[in-house]
Amino acid sequence: MALQQAAERVAAEFEYSASDVNRGVTEFIREMDEGLGKSGATMSQIPTYVTAVPNGTEKGLYMAVDLGGTNFRVCSIQLHGNSTFSLTQSKVAIPKELMVAKTSRELFAFLAKQIEAFLKEHHEEHYESHKEKRKGGGDIEQDIFSLGFTFSFPVQQFGINKGTLIRWTKGFDIPDAIGKDVCALLQDEIDRLGLPVRVAALVNDTVGTLMARSYTSPGKTGTLLGAIFGTGTNGAYVEKLSKVTKLDASAAEVDDSTGEMIINTEWGSFDNHLSVLPQTPYDKALDAESVNPGIQMFEKRVSGMFLGEILRRALLALLKDPAVPLFTDENSNQNDVHSTTNVAADSPLYKQWGLDSSFLSIATGDTSAGLKVTRQTLDKDYGVSAASAEDAEAVRLIAAAVGKRAARLSAVAIAAIVIATDKLSKPTDIATDNDANLEVNEDDIVDVGVDGSLVEFYPRFEEYIREALREVEKIGKTGERKVRIGIAKDGSGVGAALIALVADGKGRGE
């Protein structure tokens, strides 16, 4: 009983009430507006120069490459014009020495070589005929593939295919690339090899998620928001160009034909000053011992990278409390293994980042008799032998609370964007929602594309998001029903190709 009460007490620390959600939404909208008006705001609100989302009728053959970390992916995407596509791809590991090369040219020459190898293998005819035309001085313009370049490092963007590297992350360190236009670096090496490829767009993977969802989503409604809830979290949405006032002061090239622009929020840094975000002792300790204290505070409460560590710290607090019988023999009478409960001295529970976030999904979704699956996982992966059913229930309770809070915080971001963009034509009163069973008109649907392991694998994540959306005063039950949430796959592949298509259309129109 003492264990159950202690677990319930810890779980209660992760409660995020309806009034908390509403306060969060108000602050999120304030930070969105601030970020649209000036650089250096808490929420970056980065203009992407992508000015349209697809509707599923687009056709054509496009290329995409993705330098996201240790691998480089090359794809070609055939868009069929009916919301479907075919994708061909290859992937290669980046040699360690190139991640810290003397010059950026070494890395980008390697990338161009992979594009060449891909063309030779999958588009040989196209590649050879282009080579012949180049030799003979023929018209090569219509042969050229437009390419979307997903480059998952911090860049300052100046146009749809112009962006300078701010800094390297993820183990890369090539100093001479900093301050250079990464699209130009890749294009130079492509041109050196005489390949029929033009770098048409610099792509952020979250923006790609929005584009991929908008192309594949049912009906004619364009997607409003693409969101990632996985290892990290971020969102990109369609904004009125007139609201992006900080663009006025920049020297960037802006296509204003649609009156809209996709904004990359970089919402992981929302409320770094902790005016509305929840703060438990476990959040506080995690942040203090992280590589970037005081930064990415929203991400540290929402993304998969951190949820396992929050749970580990909460469990450790109980383990260290002599009054709480967690993983002790006090519960052995419940223990059908009939052996002593013991936590190994070298258990990952004692190490920073030792608890994988996937364990939250396992524990929360465990419906086995006596929570056997959770107990086996504790034994196999975390050095906790012969945990009792009571132990497993305590773990499940806290894991569920950590995950539910993450989902409710995710709802704050979604709700704020739906409200700030005025997508629900008439606000609904939370107290007088009588029409909750009426059909939603296709034209009233607000489409949201989501990607990431939390949304896909964490039990009831979307359900918890929806529950919180209904509690938002300017959304309510009627508004929540208009929000359609759908999985968007492969933002860095098909999404990047679609951004190249939009950039291409812009190029042809000039």
- 418 found inside a domain: no
What's residue 506's pLDDT? 44
**Alpha-helix residue ranges (DSSP H) falling in 217-343:** 281-288, 299-302, 304-319
Give the mean model confidence (pLDDT) for residues 240-260: 83
Band (509; pLDDT cuts 50, 70, 90): very low
Give the domain-ending residue among 353, 386, 402.
402
Domain of residue 291 covers 276-402
Cα 186 versus chain centre, distance: 25
Q: What is the reported pLDDT for 135? A: 73
426 pLDDT higher than 60:
no
- Give the rounded percent of residues in the chain with a pLDDT score beyond 90: 71
Instruction: Out of 379, 402, 425, pick the residue that ends a domain.
Output: 402
Q: How many CB atoms lie within 10 A of CB 73?
A: 19
Q: How many domains does the chain have?
A: 2
pLDDT in tens, 100-148: 999 999 999 999 999 999 999 998 888 787 777 777 666 666 679 999 9
DSSP result, 44-55: --EE--------
The pLDDT mean for the chain works out to: 89
Per-residue pLDDT tens over the stretch 170-222:
888 899 999 999 999 999 999 999 999 999 999 988 999 999 999 998 777 78
Q: How far apart are CA 30 and CA 410, in angstroms?
A: 17
CATH number at residue 127: 3.30.420.40
Is residue 499 in a domain?
no
Q: Which of 163, 181, 203 represents a domain boundary (last residue)?
A: 203
Statement to judge: residues 199 and 280 lie in one domain? no
pLDDT for res 436 = 53
Question: 393 or 135: whose pLDDT is higher?
Answer: 393
Is 167 noted as a catalytic residue in this protein? yes
**In contact, 299 and 233? CB cutoff 8 Å:** yes
In whole angstroms, what is the distance from residue 66 CA to residue 75 CA?
9
What CATH number is attached to the domain comprising 341? 3.40.367.20
Specify the range with the lowest mean pLDDT, choosing from 313-317, 334-338, 423-427, 458-462: 334-338
Annotated catalytic residue: which of 129, 152, 332, 453?
152
Whole-angstrom distance, CA of residue 227 vs CA of residue 210: 7
Among 167, 250, 336, 368, the one annotated catalytic: 167
Same domain for 79 and 178, yes or no, is: yes
Query: Looking at the domain assignment, is residue 305 inside a domain?
Result: yes
Domain shared by 68 and 196, yes or no? yes
Which DSSP category does 361 fall into?
A: H
Residue 107: CB atoms within 10 A of its CB come to: 24
Task: Give the closest residue to 299 by CA, choosing from 283, 316, 281, 288.
Answer: 283
55: number of Cβ within 10 Å = 15
Helix (H) or strand (E) run with residue 477 in it = helix 476-482
Residue 435: both structure tokens together: 């029409």
Residue 279 backbone phi and psi in degrees, to 5: -140, 105
| Cα dist from 378 to 22, 375, 395, whole Å | 37, 5, 10
Res. 428: pLDDT tops 50? no
In a domain, 5, yes or no: no
pTM over 0.85: yes
User: Residue 448: which of 495, 488, 492 has the closest Cα?
Assistant: 488
Confidence of residue 232 (pLDDT cuts 50, 70, 90): confident
User: Does residue 280 share a domain with residue 183?
Assistant: no
Question: Which of 316, 319, 341 shows the shortest CA–CA distance to 330?
Answer: 341
**Where does the pLDDT of residue 251 fall: very low under 50, low under 70, confident under 90, or very high at 90 and above?**
low
- Residue 399 carries which side chain, given as an amino acid letter? A
For the question of residue 205 being annotated catalytic, the response is yes
Per the rule left: phi > 0, alpha: psi between -120 and 50, beta: everything else, 476 is: left
Task: Identify the band that residue 331 occupies on the pLDDT scale cut at 50, 70 and 90.
Answer: low
Query: Mean pLDDT across the stretch 417-421?
Result: 97
User: In this predicted structure, what is the pLDDT of residue 405?
Assistant: 98
pLDDT band at 367 (very low <50, low <70, confident <90, very high): very high
Shared domain check, 285 and 370: yes
Q: Is residue 280 part of a domain?
A: yes
What is the number of other CB atoms lying within 10 angstroms of the CB of residue 167? 11
Task: Please report whether residue 506 resides in a domain.
Answer: no
Judge if 198 and 90 occupy the same domain.
yes
Average confidence (pLDDT) over 54-79? 91
pLDDT at 67 > cutoff 70: yes
Cα distance between residue 498 and residue 490, in whole Å: 11
Mean pLDDT of 246-263: 81
Looking at residue 257, what is its pLDDT? 85
Cα distances (angstroms) measured from residue 365 to each of 138, 292, 373, 387, 393: 62, 32, 10, 18, 12
pLDDT band at 248 (very low <50, low <70, confident <90, very high): confident
Confidence category of residue 498, pLDDT binned at 50, 70, 90? very high
Band of pLDDT at residue 407, cut at 50, 70 and 90: very high
Residues 199 and 60 in one domain: yes
Q: Is 152 a catalytic residue?
A: yes
Q: Are both 98 and 186 inside the same structural domain?
A: yes
Give the per-residue pLDDT at 508: 34
